[in-house]
Amino acid sequence: MALASSFSAARAQDAERGQALAAERNCMACHGERGVSAMENIPSLAGQQAQFITLQLVLFREGLRDVPPMEPAVEGLTDTQLEDLAAYFSSLPHAVPPDRARRNVGAYNNGAALSNRLRCGVCHLPNLTGQNQVPRIAGQREDFLAQTLRAYRDDKRHGTDTQMNAAVHGLSDAQINALAHYIAQR
Amino acid sequence: MASQIPLRAALAGALSLAFCLPALAQQPAPPASPPAWAQGRSADQANSPLAPHAPRLTATPAAQIPVSSIRLPEGFKAELWASGMPGARMMARGEDGTIYVGTRTIGRVYAVKDENGTRTPRVLAQRLDQPNGVAVRNGSLYVIAINKVLRFDNIAQNPNVEPVDMTAAFNLPTEAHHGWKFAAFGPDGKLYMNIGVPCNVCTFDENKHALIVRFNPDGSGREVVGQGVRNSVGFDWRPGTNVLYASNNARDWAGNDTPEDTLHRLARMGEHHGFPYCSGNAWQDPGHTGRKCSEFPAPVALLGPHTAPLGMRFYTGTMFPEAYRGRAFIARHGSWNRDTKSGFDVVTVTLNEDGTQGKVEPFLTGLLNTADNSFSGRPTDVLVMPDGALLVSDEQTGAIYRISYQR
């Protein structure tokens, strides 16, 4: 018990340092005031898996994932600072974006069937909230999801491995749009 | 596992398909092909939650490195030799005593040297595509990424030397999966490396993949040393014999206990060691029945199903007791494709006199917690130091342990 409480206290301190750093690096200008993005093609980070955030920040810093605006954002940050940022954003309550579209039942059902066929829930878990290095995708911005899925399909992005490239290989734009709609509505 | 070159290759493949069959673009999409690691899964395994473990790409503080969990035979001692090298994998020793350390996902090569009892690692190279292979010869460090070979000349005298790009001369395959290399110079002065199979299990060109190959140091003279070796990420030559032994990772998704990972003896140049037809303990793959187990040399030792034996070296020092001299030390990275985790340790293999059979015994344990099926470290490579101590790299914690013996 003592260990567990000192561990969560440490996490709270990490998140506090991360909050200060996020303000300094102006993360909220794009990712939203409380980590919920209202900006097209910019992901929400609130409630995201900490391990996923850390790994992506390392990939940005090491020049292994190419998103130009993220270069200055992570430049010069230490491993601990990246982990602090991840602790902060993962500690924020997840919320759907303020401009989320209304549900289109047809697209939602198509997306649900596709998600089932592609077995998204094996790694992202059945409720699509992710685990460890696998991101939470439920309730993410629909435009960002569609853009990301296209980038994986077109081999313009890979993660810490190439699993997503294989998972979405050969999907049509229409299928990707349905999948993104379904996931965004979860 | 991250890689850019293979993605380009995959893109080129997709483009050429589009050129050949332009109508396809308008058709409903084909079913998604599973990632390479998930190929070969049976229908009833489709929802299995087993998947490769997440890498850790940030530095683990020294206080959190599980050196005190390590258990060894009596008289042996483990200490933290170096840390702060996220993703630390294969090791090679330079002539000035610098240890060069390759990685996979984080794309770096580290250099760490003992200076008056302190060892502070530095990043020697970065932004590489899985630079797992490191080898030293005549003062030059060779770094082998998936399809890149860099040579750092006179690196002891000139630690910041710009590398010579040898990529074109070696002309390695571009596939990402099992495309990371283990590399070492043999007693013949040639550079040996693995070329793994670009899938879990599949039909492939047996002259291009599942190989151990050797080159002249300038990248010329490629020769196949062994065929049908699915993916070896560790090999060494038995002292006094110059016979090559290689650890090998068998396929996944064939059950918790089949097939076993193995140690092979590569006694005859170019000999085929069984994959994809035969693996482990004479286990005939039901999907690849074209050749029989009786056609291939049996492995020297069985190293457990899915345990992922990687770095492997013969003990050539004199610090350890007599019984350990000449044994093979093998780092088992630990399983993912098994409900009950196994490995996450270092074992030794004692060979019989003619070297055709080996006895496996535990050596370094304690990083696997069987009570809750979790692990705290992943031994990845072993290296014998001039004083006879054994270095063990741990990819999960970015650390190197030093194992010594005192009577």
Question: How many domains would you assign to chain B?
Answer: 1
pLDDT tens-place string over residues A22-62: 999 999 999 999 999 999 999 999 999 999 999 999 999 99
Contact A170 B11 (CB under 8 A): no
Q: Answer whether B52 touches A (CB < 8 Å).
A: yes
Please state the pTM of the whole predicted model: 0.90
- DSSP state at residue A150: H
Contact B6 A154 (CB under 8 A): no
Q: Pick from A83, A133, A166: which is nearest to B34 by CB?
A: A166
pLDDT of residue B176: 84
Are both A78 and A112 inside the same structural domain?
A: no
Q: Among A38, A66, A91, which residue terminates a domain?
A: A91
Least Cα separation, residue A99 to chain B (angstroms): 31
Nearest to B6 by CA among B137, B154, B129: B129
DSSP string, A56-97: HHHHHHTT-S--TTHHHHHTT--HHHHHHHHHHHHHSPP---
Residue A16 belongs to domain spanning: 2-91
More confident residue, B45 or A63: A63
Q: Pick from B7, B54, B127: which is nearest to A51 by CB?
A: B54
B144 close to B161: Cβ distance less than 8 angstroms: no
Quick check: is A124 in a domain?
yes
Coil, strand or helix: which one is A44?
Answer: coil
Q: Among A91, A114, A140, which residue terminates a domain?
A: A91
Which CA distances in Å does B297 have to A142, B237, B250? 55, 18, 15
Are both A116 and A87 inside the same structural domain?
A: no
Coil, strand or helix: which one is A160?
Answer: coil
Between A and B, how many CB-CB pairs are < 8 A? 102
| Tokens linked to A115 | 């998600």
Neighbouring residues of B104: CB distance < 8 A, sequence distance ≥ 6: B1, B55, B87, B89, B130, B132, B180, B395
ipTM reported for the complex, 2 dp:
0.84
Interface test with A, best of B33, B57, B83, B128 (most A CBs within 10 A): B57
Q: Answer whether A54 touches B (CB < 8 Å).
A: yes
Q: Pick from A62, A122, A155: which is nearest to B106 by CB?
A: A62
Q: Answer whether A11 touches B (CB < 8 Å).
A: no
Q: Answer whether A166 touches B (CB < 8 Å).
A: yes
Which CA distances in Å does B76 have to B15, B50, B186, B258, B318? 57, 35, 30, 33, 14
Contact B106 A58 (CB under 8 A): yes
Contact A122 B127 (CB under 8 A): no
For residue A4, is pLDDT > 70? no
Are both A131 and A170 inside the same structural domain?
A: yes
Are both A134 and A161 inside the same structural domain?
A: yes
For residue A70, is pLDDT > 80? yes
Distance in angstroms (rounded) separating the CA atoms of residues B230 and B175: 14
pLDDT of residue A5: 52
Distance in angstroms (rounded) separating the CA atoms of residues B245 and B29: 45
pLDDT of residue B12: 36
Contact A55 B57 (CB under 8 A): yes
pLDDT tens-place string over residues A165-179: 878 888 999 999 999
Distance in angstroms (rounded) separating the CA atoms of residues B377 and B111: 21
Match 């209202």 to its residue by tokens.
Answer: A38
Are both A45 and A73 inside the same structural domain?
A: yes
pLDDT of residue A165: 83
pLDDT of residue A6: 57
Residue numbers in A near B44 (CB within 8 A):
none
Contact B59 A82 (CB under 8 A): no
Quick check: is A117 in a domain?
yes
Contact A155 B11 (CB under 8 A): yes
Quick check: is A100 in a domain?
no
Contact B48 A122 (CB under 8 A): yes
B4 close to B127: Cβ distance less than 8 angstroms: no
Nearest to B349 by CA among B251, B226, B246: B246
Q: Residue A11 — pLDDT band, cuts 50, 70, 90?
A: confident
Residue B75 belongs to domain spanning: 5-405
Least Cα separation, residue A172 to chain B (angstroms): 6
Are both A35 and A80 inside the same structural domain?
A: yes
Element (H, E) at A105: helix A105-118
pLDDT of residue B18: 33
Neighbouring residues of A171: CB distance < 8 A, sequence distance ≥ 6: A114, A149, A153, A179, B29, B32
Are both A6 and A82 inside the same structural domain?
A: yes
CATH number reported for the structural domain that contains residue A27 in this entry: 1.10.760.10
Residue numbers in A near B33 (CB within 8 A):
166, 169-170
Neighbouring residues of A9: CB distance < 8 A, sequence distance ≥ 6: none
Dihedral sign of CA atoms B93, B402, B369, B326 in order: positive
Neighbours of A61 (CB within 10 A): 21
Residue numbers in B near A117 (CB within 8 A):
31
Contact B2 A162 (CB under 8 A): yes
Q: Answer whether A77 touches B (CB < 8 Å).
A: no
Q: Answer whether B50 touches A (CB < 8 Å).
A: no
Q: Answer whether A3 touches B (CB < 8 Å).
A: no
Are both A122 and A158 inside the same structural domain?
A: yes
More confident residue, A119 or B239: B239
pLDDT of residue B22: 34
Distance in angstroms (rounded) separating the CA atoms of residues A167 and A122: 12
B39 close to A181: Cβ distance less than 8 angstroms: no
Residue numbers in B near A159 (CB within 8 A):
2
Low-confidence ranges of chain B (pLDDT < 70): 1-34
Residue numbers in A near B21 (CB within 8 A):
none
For residue A158, is pLDDT > 90? no
pLDDT of residue B276: 97
Report whether the peptide linkage leading into residue B259 is cis, meaning its omega lies within 30 degrees of zero: yes
Q: Answer whether A58 touches B (CB < 8 Å).
A: yes
Distance in angstroms (rounded) separating the CA atoms of residues B291 and B272: 11
pLDDT tens-place string over residues B60-82: 999 999 999 999 999 999 999 99
- DSSP state at residue A39: S
pLDDT of residue A7: 58
Distance in angstroms (rounded) separating the CA atoms of residues B177 and B194: 13
Strand B76-82 with B109-112, pairing:
unpaired
Nearest to B338 by CA among B257, B231, B283: B257
Are both A84 and A116 inside the same structural domain?
A: no
Quick check: is A98 in a domain?
no
Question: How many domains would you assign to chain A?
Answer: 2
Coil, strand or helix: which one is A37?
Answer: coil
pLDDT of residue B32: 52
Distance in angstroms (rounded) separating the CA atoms of residues B266 and B244: 5
Distance in angstroms (rounded) separating the CA atoms of residues B327 and B316: 8
Closest residue in A to B85 (Cα–Cα)? A79
Q: Answer whether B3 touches A (CB < 8 Å).
A: yes
Q: Among A24, A58, A91, which residue terminates a domain?
A: A91
Contact B127 A62 (CB under 8 A): yes
pLDDT of residue B33: 63
Contact B176 A162 (CB under 8 A): yes
Are both A86 and A6 inside the same structural domain?
A: yes
Are both A87 and A154 inside the same structural domain?
A: no
B393 close to B379: Cβ distance less than 8 angstroms: yes
CATH number reported for the structural domain that contains residue B26 in this entry: 2.120.10.30
